[in-house]
């Protein structure tokens, strides 16, 4: 199937409730509401041909429409609780589109609004990689600086090593690579969701993000501060430091 014939849907989850930051998804980051940065990236993708914001909040819905996203429904409360998962949001969205519009996407990409610095190119790369491989999904990840093999778990008021042989990994070079998802893109076939009941499936391909700003996840007020400072100063700061290091 040619790319122009593929229905490629971006789903942006953006509920109104947030424990870390009140009205997080519409807090300003620079000149734009937080969620608008993600909508803008999706609109500038050359592959995505539909963008839906799934929200339970009328104000978020209004702002999402202003920035060019489709908001065909307000998400029911049962899918908007603290305990609700991203999978719940995706399944509700697809069920609605199939039932009301007779629309079934070929490829879906989940773009979390808490990752405001993703590029349109990253979205496109994830779609291209999904299409040219036998992957069930493509996920943006970063190499963790804090490795699980050196972590500790609480037990009976004390700390227990996550790995009993943790002393073996005293040097970073001895640690196997360890990755976390960034939230920037979870891209998968609709058939993956249909067959495996989840958007990962058994064959996940990574897109490894090496830019620190791409890995910022806005979950707390401190994270929003870091994102604000990054947007204002990071490019100039890193450019100057790089220039000075050449002397």
Q: Write down the mean pLDDT value for the chain.
A: 90
Work out how many domains the chain is built from and give that number. Answer: 1
Average pLDDT over residues 15-24: 80
197 is a domain residue: yes
Is 62 within a domain? Answer: yes
Higher pLDDT, 77 or 51: 51
Q: Is the pTM of this model over 0.85?
A: yes
Residue 155 within any structural domain of the chain: no
The distance of Cα 119 from the centroid of its chain, to the nearest Å, equals 12
For residues 103-129, give the mean pLDDT. Answer: 96
Residues 12-51, buried b or exposed e (16+ Cβ, 10 A)? bbbbbebeebeebbbbebeebbbbbbbbebbeebebbebb
**Assigned domain for 126 exists:** yes
Q: Is residue 85 part of a domain?
A: yes
In a domain, 224, yes or no: yes
CATH number, residue 223 = 3.90.550.10
Residue 74 forms part of a structural domain = yes
DSSP assignment of 60-115, as one string?
HHHHHHHTT-B--SBPPGGGSSTT--HHHHHHHHHHHIIIII----SEEEE--TT-
97 is a domain residue: yes
pLDDT of 1 higher than 60: no
Range of the domain at 240: 3-142+179-244
pLDDT for position 34: 96
């Amino acid at each position: 199937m040619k790319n122009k014939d593929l229905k490629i849907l971006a789903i942006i989850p953006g509920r109104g409730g947030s424990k870390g930051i009140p009205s997080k998804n519409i807090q300003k980051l620079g000149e734009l509401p937080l969620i608008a940065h993600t909508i803008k990236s999706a609109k500038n993708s050359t592959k995505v041909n539909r963008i839906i914001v799934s929200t339970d909040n009328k104000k978020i819905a209004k702002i999402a429409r202003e920035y060019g996203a489709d908001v065909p429904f307000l998400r029911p409360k049962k899918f908007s609780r603290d305990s609700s998962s991203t999978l719940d949001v995706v399944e509700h969205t697809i069920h609605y589109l199939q039932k009301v519009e007779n629309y079934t996407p070929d490829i879906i990409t989940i773009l979390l609004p808490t990752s405001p610095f993703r590029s349109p190119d990253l979205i496109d790369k994830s779609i291209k990689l999904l299409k040219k491989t036998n992957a069930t999904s493509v996920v943006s990840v970063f190499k963790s600086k804090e490795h699980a093999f050196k972590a500790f778990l609480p037990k009976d008021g004390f700390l227990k090593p996550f790995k009993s042989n943790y002393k073996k990994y005293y040097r970073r070079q001895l640690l196997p690579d360890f990755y976390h998802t960034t939230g920037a893109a979870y891209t998968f076939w609709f058939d993956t969701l249909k067959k495996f009941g989840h958007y990962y499936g058994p064959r996940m391909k990574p897109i490894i993000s090496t830019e620190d700003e791409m890995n910022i996840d806005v979950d707390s007020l401190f994270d929003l501060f870091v994102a604000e400072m990054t947007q204002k100063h990071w490019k100039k700061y890193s450019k100057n430091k790089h220039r000075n290091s050449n002397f």
